[in-house]
A and B are shown apart, each in its own frame.
Chain A
Amino acid sequence: NAGVMQNPRHLVRRRGQEARLRCSPMKGHSHVYWYRQLPEEGLKFMVYLQKENIIDESGMPKERFSAEFPKEGPSILRIQQVVRGDSAAYFCASSTGDRLMNTEAFFGQGTRLTVV
């Protein structure tokens, strides 16, 4: 059983381009969480999704950022028109239920986005 898989591991984009980050949860997990880790900072919650539904997006910037978790396929975090301030490590976590930690959530290895 593979863990949470994120790809790509590293992504370089020029300012103004789009970044698409993918997260495949662990088998049997239907809850996905995205976090952002800025340099020298902790993890900031972005969005919580279940299959085909966004449950909580209170941590998502209002513009340029979107997330989806379709019925089939990975969860996608999409950043349009990237700016240098978007450079960060983006982590995905998955769990079986809605109490993230109580159901032993697992984190992926992250995607490190660099905007040049």
Chain B
Amino acid sequence: GEDVEQSLFLSVREGDSSVINCTYTDSSSTYLYWYKQEPGAGLQLLTYIFSNMDMKQDQRLTVLLNKKDKHLSLRIADTQTGDSAIYFCAEMGGGSYIPTFGRGTSLIVHP
């Protein structure tokens, strides 16, 4: 079946850029998403990208998609302590209405 892989942990210094990576296997993926989960909370949709796009920028967030390699990344510029959370990558394939999530990357921001 379809699979979404992420590294489990990322540690960065406050003010640096963070890059969270994700790979997926479904070549028919149409939508790719990044969600943020703060401790004890639900998931918040941060951004999404269509498969016919290479890049999307939204303030401090930049999403890059390499469809050939099935690789998605989320770059957070000027990372702040408030960015500490778990970030989930998700994909939804053509014709499907149910997204598949990765295991999440715990981002730890230290002073």
Which residues of A does B touch, CB under 8 Å? 4, 33, 35, 40-45, 48, 56, 91, 93, 98-102, 104-110
By the criterion CB–CB under 8 Å, are A45 and B98 in contact? yes
Which residues of B does A touch, CB under 8 Å? 4, 31, 33, 35, 40-45, 48, 88, 90, 92, 97-104
- Neighbouring B residues of A107 by C-beta, 8 Å: 35, 42-44
- Neighbouring B residues of A98 by C-beta, 8 Å: 97
Closest CB in chain B relative to A97 CB, distance in Å: 9
- Neighbouring B residues of A56 by C-beta, 8 Å: 97-98
Q: Known interface pairs A56-B98, A100-B97, A102-B31. Does A42 touch B103 (Cβ–Cβ under 8 Å)?
A: yes
A-B contact pairs, 12 of them (CB 8 A): A42-B88, A42-B101, A43-B101, A91-B42, A91-B43, A98-B97, A100-B98, A100-B99, A101-B45, A101-B48, A101-B90, A108-B42
- Neighbouring B residues of A100 by C-beta, 8 Å: 92, 97-99
Contact of A101 among B33, B44, B88, B104 (CB under 8 A): B33
By the criterion CB–CB under 8 Å, are B104 and A42 in contact? yes
Q: How far is the CA of A44 from the CA of B102 in the complex (A)?
A: 9
Residue of A nearest to B92 (CB): A101
By the criterion CB–CB under 8 Å, are B45 and A42 in contact? no
- Ranked nearest first, the 6 interchain pairs of A and B with the lowest CB-CB distance are A107-B42, A42-B103, A43-B101, A107-B43, A42-B101, A109-B42
